[in-house]
Amino acid sequence: MANAHRRRNNVDRIKINGAWLTEENDIREGIANAFKTLLSNPGDWRPSVSGLQFEMLEQLDANALETPFMEEEVFDALVGCNGDKAPGPDGFSMAFWLFAWDFVKADVMSFFKEFYENGKFVKSLNTTFLVLIPKKVGAEALGDYRPISLVGSLYKWLTKVLANRLKKVVGKVVSKAQGAFVEGRQILDVVLIANEAIDSTLKNNESGILCKLDIEKAYDKVDWNFILSIMEKMGFGERWIRWIQWCISTASFSVMINGTPTGFFQSSRGLRQGDPFPPTYLSLLWRFEDKLGKSELIPVGRVESMDDLAGEFGCSLGSLPTTYLGMPLGASFKSVTVWDGVEERFRRRLSMWKRQYLSKGGRATLIRSTLSNLPIYLMSLLCLPSSAKGGLGVKSLSLLNKTLLAKWNWHFTNEREALWNQVIRGKYGEARGGWCSREVREAHGLGLWKGIRMSWKLVSDRLAFIVGNGRRVSFWRDRWCGESPLSFNDWEIEEAERFMERIQSKRVHEDVEDTVSWTETKSAQDKLLRMGGYMRKSLNIGFSPEKRMGLGKQMFHVS
């Protein structure tokens, strides 16, 4: 398997700047020089940010970023790293450090203490292997490869700690419209907002224009001085800025070509894909490069002179439905075609195994694995078309889909300040004290929320309410005292006495907001598992393929 993987990814020819390179030495030299040029600052003029206004960090948050590194914090960052990822130039995986933590703890904490006090580490710790990963089958040009950075383990560990600190405050200085790389936000938020906006426009018989920009998020071309200037304008402390400057400016690179490192050079601009830092920092800034030839103007409703507008902007003319961040945009609620891509990828994945001799158990395992992973992204926001229940050990996709959609209702109760939440409240209104939106009785149209809102009762039956000031909790209908709402009780004298005993410990606090909690379990994974089991019972989902097929109780052999 390893040899086959190596053969598939072997670069025996490549096109760079329109010229084909076929000789081994020419390929190595051409790729190394291309990345050296890409990561070198050409010294072009850059506009100043001195006159611009930014959201500012509070001094308390800025100070929190610069506190001494604690052992618990360092260990948590280590646990949060994927231990099985490919190691960098030092050859140590994060799994090694986790295994040897008790032995290396003192030395590691000395390293963190030295960095805290001096703002520097040995530059050799910041060497990087650039590995080229094909973006598609049959990659030919250099642009068809994605450069992934394999950084040294100690450097990765340090930047993971810094990134964890930054995640806690970055949401306070980043626009609410920014959905990615900010803790508590997800990329699907903006897809939901976009579909609901189009739906409202069409239902109100209005018209508008979508400008779908194809924007290159250029990791490799970010100017370091720009990063540091932005952080200074946002109120980051001097020590923090000095740390970041050292981390990004001491990087050196070798390009891994067919398993062998080639070249050795230092960069003077850019961030690294594979470094824990860049995703978080790209939420603070983007170096936008508009590729107008791939951008589109899309009419919503009846819009005149679209051809003239497209020509004026230098964009192509598109139409609904289209795609946005890999999700359908402006597609009908009942559209089955949006799942064609998933079906095609499923067939393509299985076709790679056709030439291998697999038992029935092996085939079932392969199908389960593929079905479990491929459609998750779409099922997290779209309602799956009705289909047969699972069988042969293949999980019910309908049940999984309902569970994933139910998560949105949980987020709705807890993320009142999120932009998508405010959009839904503004469009549909609130109910139950703001714990959920109003029930959607209108036609589905192009919106997605009606399908999501239908699973509210499945979520609400598993919620318990924690009384703060009491403004949003219903005394009679909500489960806030005991295992059921008070309206369900048969109010005999003994029950009333027990109720009075239970509420002795309850207090109303004027300055504390009411909150909601999930019953029985705490972790997000357990919530999903429990929700799946609960929904299976509630929806009466059951399937016994062995009875229907007359197989009896058989165990598949997996080989």
**Residues 200-236: tens digit of each pLDDT:** 999 999 999 998 876 655 667 788 888 888 889 899 9
pLDDT the model gives residue 199: 93
pLDDT the model gives residue 324: 87
pLDDT at 276 over 90: no
Q: How far apart are CA 11 and CA 32, in angstroms?
A: 13
pLDDT at 253 over 90: yes
The per-residue b/e assignment along 494-514, b for 16 or more CB within 10 angstroms, e otherwise, is eeeeeeeeeeeeeeeeeeeeb
Q: How far apart are CA 62 and CA 53, in angstroms?
A: 18
Tokens of residue 461, six digits? 């039956």
Torsion on CA atoms 11, 17, 19, 24, rounded to nearest 10: -30
DSSP 166-229: HHHHHTTTS-TT--SSSTT--THHHHHHHHHHHHHHHHTT--EEEEE--EEE-GGG--HHHHHH
For 3, counting Cβ atoms within 10 Å of its Cβ (0-12 exposed, 13-18 middle, 19+ buried), the class is exposed
Phi first, then psi: what are they for 291, rounded to 5°? Answer: -95, 85
| Greatest Cα pair distance in the chain | 92
Average pLDDT over every residue of 552-559: 44
pLDDT the model gives residue 551: 38
Q: What radius of gyration, in Å, describes the C-alpha atoms of the chain? A: 28
Chain mean position to CA 443: 30
What Å distances lie between residue 169 and 33, 311, 411, CA to CA?
38, 42, 20
- Answer with the residue of higher pLDDT: 211 or 523: 211
The identity of residue 88, as a single letter, is: G
pLDDT the model gives residue 95: 93
Confidence of residue 408 (pLDDT cuts 50, 70, 90): very high
Nearest C-alpha neighbor of 251 from the set 216, 277, 233, 283: 277
- Count of Cβ atoms closer than 10 Å to residue 346 Cβ: 17
pLDDT the model gives residue 50: 79
Q: How far apart are CA 36 and CA 22, in angstroms?
A: 20
pLDDT at 10 over 70: yes
| SS3 state of residue 445 | coil
Average pLDDT over every residue of 60-71: 96
Tokens of residue 114, six digits? 């030295």
pLDDT (tens digit, 9 = 90+) per residue, 77-111?
A: 999 988 888 899 999 999 999 999 999 999 999 99
The helix (run of H) or strand (run of E) holding residue 253 is strand 252-257
**What are the structural domain ranges in the chain?**
2-173+238-268, 332-458
Say if CB 134 and CB 144 are below 8 A apart.
Answer: yes
pLDDT at 536 over 60: no
Q: How far apart are CA 89 and CA 129, in angstroms?
A: 7
pLDDT (tens digit, 9 = 90+) per residue, 358-380?
A: 666 666 666 666 666 667 888 89
pLDDT the model gives residue 444: 79
pLDDT at 492 over 50: yes
pLDDT the model gives residue 401: 87
Chain mean position to CA 400: 19
pLDDT the model gives residue 558: 46
Most confident of the ranges 242-256, 276-290, 302-316, 398-412 = 242-256
Most confident of the ranges 137-146, 468-477, 522-531 = 137-146
Strand partners, 265: 253
Average pLDDT over every residue of 31-52: 84
pLDDT (tens digit, 9 = 90+) per residue, 142-172?
A: 988 988 889 999 999 999 999 999 989 988 8
Of 128-142, 292-306, 381-395, 497-511, minimum mean pLDDT range: 381-395
Supply the mean pLDDT for the chain. 80
Average pLDDT over every residue of 345-360: 66
For 449, counting Cβ atoms within 10 Å of its Cβ (0-12 exposed, 13-18 middle, 19+ buried), the class is buried
Percent of the chain at pLDDT above 90?
A: 32
Nearest C-alpha neighbor of 318 from the set 331, 333, 306: 306
Nearest C-alpha neighbor of 32 from the set 11, 2, 3: 11
DSSP letter, residue 165: H
